[in-house]
Amino acid sequence: MPQIFTPKANTWIRVLILALPVLAVGVFALGYGLTWSGYETGVSQVKKQPIPFSHRHHVGELGLDCRYCHASVATSAFADLPPAHTCMSCHSQIWNQAEMLAPLRESFRTGKPLAWVRVHDLPGFVYFHHGIHLAKGVGCTECHGRVDKMSLTFKTRSLYMKWCLDCHRDPGPHLRPPDEVFNPRWRPTGDPLLQGKKWMEYYRIAPARSLTDCVVCHR
């Protein structure tokens, strides 16, 4: 009676048994890596905009306050984008013939807003309010990074749920004095634990457990 399996079959079965766990771990590691990669999160990726606006120049070099362009950021959920006439308050006088600013002049002439591409874009099922975070001492750079050093704006944080929860569970290290909220160059001094406790008390922030309730972000 002919044999169905050759003597080598035992070897191949052993190799397969050993390979399956390795393959499973490899697939898991690949999926995990992709989930947290810049390809998926958008971190460090620059999006093409109608105008190559430089925060490094306007904020870092000229010292413009965030609220000059994002006028409603301290009071509303949405940070707001500057209308063309805000930009033209300067660019009607300087760089007023620059080719790269042609879309701005056209927007100002026609009243049609520039189609800026959002860099920090949360899903529709997530509720986020800029105003309350700023009022509680969370600086702009906590979420947006050092925009004053960015020639072109890009994400520095994943904005994943885990990232938000890490801050909500322990807000103290992310807080700062009220007059430094819009200062991208501010750095904490002293013992971080004591400073965190101090600002938690100052801003009367509720215990961290209430900040992780589902309804805080999903309404």
Query: Which tokens belong to 48?
Result: 């093409």
| Predicted model pTM | 0.82
Question: What is the DSSP secondary structure assignment for residue 56, as one 8-state letter?
Answer: I
List C-alpha distances in Å: 161 to 75, 126, 198: 24, 9, 26
Distance CA(98)–CA(105), nearest Å, equals 10
pLDDT of residue 208: 62
Give the pLDDT confidence of 99-152 residue by residue, as tens digits: 999 999 999 999 999 999 999 999 999 999 999 999 999 999 999 999 999 999
Domain ranges of the chain: 120-217
- Chain position carrying tokens 């390795």: 22
Phi-psi region of 202 (alpha: psi -120 to 50; beta: other; left: phi over 0): alpha
Q: What are 37-75's pLDDT values in tens digits?
A: 777 888 999 999 999 999 999 999 999 999 999 999 999
CA–CA separation, 176 and 200 (whole Å): 10
Distance CA 137, CA 198 (A): 12
CA distance 122 to 153: 16
